[in-house]
Amino acid sequence: MTKSHGQLVSVVDDDESVREALPDLIRIFGFDVRAFSSATEFLDSEWVGRTDCLVLDVAMPGMSGPELQEELVKRGETIPIVFITAHKDENERGPLLEKGAVACLFKPFSDIALEEALDLALG
């Protein structure tokens, strides 16, 4: 699939290694990327309204990924969300998808799984 240049994917994850590695991979897929260490940092940024897709960690200190999703809905922001989580709990995936997430990937996920989720979110 040909990517549209200029599409912005924002990564929100409290894990520094994820914030360093994931943007490099997403850039290889052809997207622009911004990384944030917390939901609050993302919400306080100028990038919320410019974000075309959000790659969002489920469990973070402070505001969790699902809480950020709810806050975006309250603000009228309709950003497709790909959740990522280290907790392999299938019971967690269902409610996230029901509330509008495009995908929920369990860490470690493959490059292909992430690219497919982004294509789904941005296609």
Both structure tokens of 111: 């490059």
Overall domain count for the chain? 1
Tell me whether residue 3 is in a domain: no
* Model pLDDT, residue 88: 81
Q: Which helix (H) or strand (E) holds 88?
A: none
Give how far the C-alpha of residue 5 lies from the chain's centroid of Cα atoms, to the nearest Å: 18
- Per residue in 53-93, pLDDT (tens digit) is 999 999 999 999 999 999 999 999 999 999 999 988 788 88
> For 108-117, what is the mean pLDDT?
96
Tell me whether residue 2 is in a domain: no
Neighbours of 13 (CB within 10 A): 22
Indicate which CATH number applies to the domain containing 42. 3.40.50.2300
